[in-house]
Protein backbone atom coordinates (compact mmCIF):
# COMPACT_ATOMS: atom_id res chain seq x y z
CA UNK A 1 0.00 0.00 0.00
CA UNK A 2 2.85 2.32 0.81
CA UNK A 3 4.47 1.74 -2.56
CA UNK A 4 1.22 2.45 -4.35
CA UNK A 5 0.78 5.73 -2.49
CA UNK A 6 4.36 6.75 -3.27
CA UNK A 7 3.94 5.81 -6.94
CA UNK A 8 0.71 7.77 -7.29
CA UNK A 9 2.16 10.85 -5.59
CA UNK A 10 5.22 10.83 -7.89
CA UNK A 11 3.03 10.29 -10.92
CA UNK A 12 0.70 13.10 -9.88
CA UNK A 13 3.60 15.54 -9.50
CA UNK A 14 5.52 14.52 -12.61
CA UNK A 15 2.80 14.30 -15.27
CA UNK A 16 1.45 17.88 -15.16
CA UNK A 17 4.96 19.32 -15.42
CA UNK A 18 5.70 17.28 -18.52
CA UNK A 19 2.67 18.60 -20.34
CA UNK A 20 3.00 22.18 -19.10
CA UNK A 21 6.45 22.75 -20.59
CA UNK A 22 6.54 24.10 -24.10
CA UNK A 23 9.43 22.51 -25.88
CA UNK A 24 10.76 24.18 -28.97
CA UNK A 25 13.76 23.25 -31.03
CA UNK A 26 14.19 26.85 -32.22
CA UNK A 27 16.14 29.66 -30.60
CA UNK A 28 13.47 32.30 -31.24
CA UNK A 29 9.71 31.97 -30.90
CA UNK A 30 9.14 33.22 -34.44
CA UNK A 31 11.17 33.71 -37.60
CA UNK A 32 13.27 36.89 -37.59
CA UNK A 33 14.25 39.18 -40.48
CA UNK A 34 17.78 38.34 -41.64
CA UNK A 35 20.24 39.46 -44.30
CA UNK A 36 22.54 36.83 -45.82
CA UNK A 37 25.72 38.16 -47.43
CA UNK A 38 26.97 35.94 -50.25
CA UNK A 39 30.58 35.68 -51.45
CA UNK A 40 29.71 37.27 -54.79
CA UNK A 41 28.52 40.43 -53.01
CA UNK A 42 24.78 39.80 -53.30
CA UNK A 43 22.47 40.13 -50.32
CA UNK A 44 19.47 37.91 -49.68
CA UNK A 45 16.73 39.11 -47.32
CA UNK A 46 14.62 36.41 -45.67
CA UNK A 47 13.08 35.39 -42.38
CA UNK A 48 15.19 32.84 -40.49
CA UNK A 49 15.41 31.00 -37.18
CA UNK A 50 18.14 28.87 -35.59
CA UNK A 51 17.36 25.19 -34.99
CA UNK A 52 19.00 24.14 -31.71
CA UNK A 53 18.67 20.41 -32.42
CA UNK A 54 20.31 20.33 -35.84
CA UNK A 55 22.60 23.31 -35.19
CA UNK A 56 21.66 25.04 -38.42
CA UNK A 57 19.68 28.01 -39.64
CA UNK A 58 16.30 27.46 -41.25
CA UNK A 59 14.57 29.94 -43.49
CA UNK A 60 10.85 30.46 -43.68
CA UNK A 61 9.14 29.32 -46.83
CA UNK A 62 8.04 32.23 -49.00
CA UNK A 63 6.05 31.53 -52.12
CA UNK A 64 6.68 34.01 -54.91
CA UNK A 65 3.89 34.97 -57.31
Determine if the pTM surpasses 0.85: no
- Please state the rounded mean pLDDT for residues 11-21: 51
Q: What percent of the chain has pLDDT over 70?
A: 58
* Residue 60 in domain: yes
* Residue 4 in domain: no
Instruction: Give the residue from 46, 55, 49 showing the smallest Cα distance to 26.
Output: 49
Domain that includes residue 63, residue range: 25-65
* Residue 31 in domain: yes
Parallel, antiparallel or unpaired: strands 43-51 and 32-37: antiparallel
pLDDT in tens, 36-51: 899 999 998 889 999 9
* Residue 1 in domain: no
Q: Name the domain count of the chain.
A: 1
Q: How far is 28 from 58, CA to CA, in rounded Å?
A: 11
Sorting pLDDT into bands at 50, 70 and 90, what band is 2? low
C-alpha distances out from residue 15 to 11, 25, 32, Å: 6, 21, 33
pLDDT in tens, 49-63: 999 989 998 888 765
* Residue 37 in domain: yes
Amino acid sequence: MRHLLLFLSVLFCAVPRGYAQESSSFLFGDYQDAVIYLKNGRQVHNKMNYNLVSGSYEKSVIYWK
